[in-house]
Amino acid sequence: MTIAEAQAAGGFRTSALLQDNRFKYWLIAPAVFVMLLVGLFPIIYSLVVSFQYVTMMDQDYSWYGFGWYEWMFEDDRFWESLWHTALITVIALPCELFLGLLLARLFLGPLRGKPIFIAIILLPSVICPIVVGAVWRLMFDTRYGPITHFLNWVSGADIQITWVVDPNWVYPVILVAEIWQWFPFMFLILLAGLSNVDTDLTDAAAIDGAGFWTTFWRVSLPAIWPVMFIAILIRGLDLVRIFDIVFVVTKGGPGTMTETTPIYMYITGFHQFETSYTGAMVFLIIVLLSIIVVAALRRVEISR
């Protein structure tokens, strides 16, 4: 029976409700409401509370103006934490991208036991970041850490670096842990992207005399760019929120040398109960990130 026959037979009745174009919006309204409640309410609450005076000692919900924003602009520790976060992001992100891309390219061709190798490579990304931090802290232990032992063995010298305290080494240790955990994520996304590049295009490029690099830069990379951009965006946002690994490896130390913005906000919000001030910081970060993300999405025309 065709649809026309069914309609003629009265089998399908198109109700007025279904003809109403607005009905689809009613269907998704509960989900949208929940998402707004969960996603938007904390942001609005942070904004509201940032204009009040809610601290450990005082619970004043009246209008306090821009006092906390002024406080923030004079707070060196906040700006330093922002700098530390940016530093980790601008180093870790390209490294993760490069290593992920390199490995994805290596895994593109046929390889015996490929699924097993992929599973092994992905292991770090499924471990809890707190555990990753603890593992790397032990790896870099001055006395018992295998890295120190390995360096001593290679160099023949008695290397005694306190990796998680020495200002020359704290960032490298954090970056090693961070990159080790998350480059597999880049690898997985980019492998999926590269695997879906139309081989007709790459074959055509080869027939036209394009070499490996030309094909990669002119054909493969543009083809996977939307996927790669989303991977960069996800990891970039993750890095701006970096907390666990740094907290376990250095607790933001020595002093506040590796204190990231999330760690500082955690201290002010949950240890010092500066609720309004933390709200102001949170809101500023949200605004900054929103501007960056929207601008980036427009730049690559993905938001369409």
End-to-end CA distance of the chain: 40
Name, in order, each residue with C-beta under 8 angstroms of 95's C-beta and a sequence gap of 6 or more.
175, 179, 183
Return the closest-CA partner of residue 161 out of 143, 134, 137, 139.
143
CB of 273 to other proteins, least distance (A): 6
CB of 89 to other proteins, least distance (A): 22
Q: What phi and psi values does residue 53 have, to the nearest 5 degrees?
A: -120, 75
Q: Which lies closer to other proteins via its Cβ, residue 251 or residue 299?
A: 251
- C-alpha span between 257 and 254 (Å, rounded): 6
Tell me which residue has tokens 């890295």: 147
Q: Which lies closer to other proteins via its Cβ, residue 78 or residue 187?
A: 78
Residues that bind other proteins (CB under 8 A): 56-57, 71, 74, 76-77, 141-143, 160, 162, 164-167, 170, 250-257, 267, 270-273
CB of 270 to other proteins, least distance (A): 6
Q: Which lies closer to other proteins via its Cβ, residue 67 or residue 95?
A: 67
CB of 55 to other proteins, least distance (A): 8
Let me know: does 88 contact 178? Beta carbons within 8 Å: yes
- C-alpha span between 142 and 295 (Å, rounded): 44
What DSSP string runs through 182-239?
A: HHHHHHHHHHHHHHTS-HHHHHHHHHTT--HHHHIIIIIHHHHHHHHHHHHHHHHHHH
CB of 281 to other proteins, least distance (A): 15
Q: In the numeric block, which tokens belong to residue 6?
A: 């069914």
Tell me the sheet residues that pair with 59. Answer: 54
Q: Which lies closer to other proteins via its Cβ, residue 81 or residue 181?
A: 81
> Which three-class secondary structure state does DSSP give residue 67?
helix
Q: Which lies closer to other proteins via its Cβ, residue 150 or residue 212?
A: 150
CB of 246 to other proteins, least distance (A): 12
CB of 162 to other proteins, least distance (A): 5
Within a 10 A sphere around the Cβ of 142, how many other Cβ atoms? 15
Q: Which lies closer to other proteins via its Cβ, residue 19 or residue 160?
A: 160
Q: Which lies closer to other proteins via its Cβ, residue 223 or residue 257?
A: 257
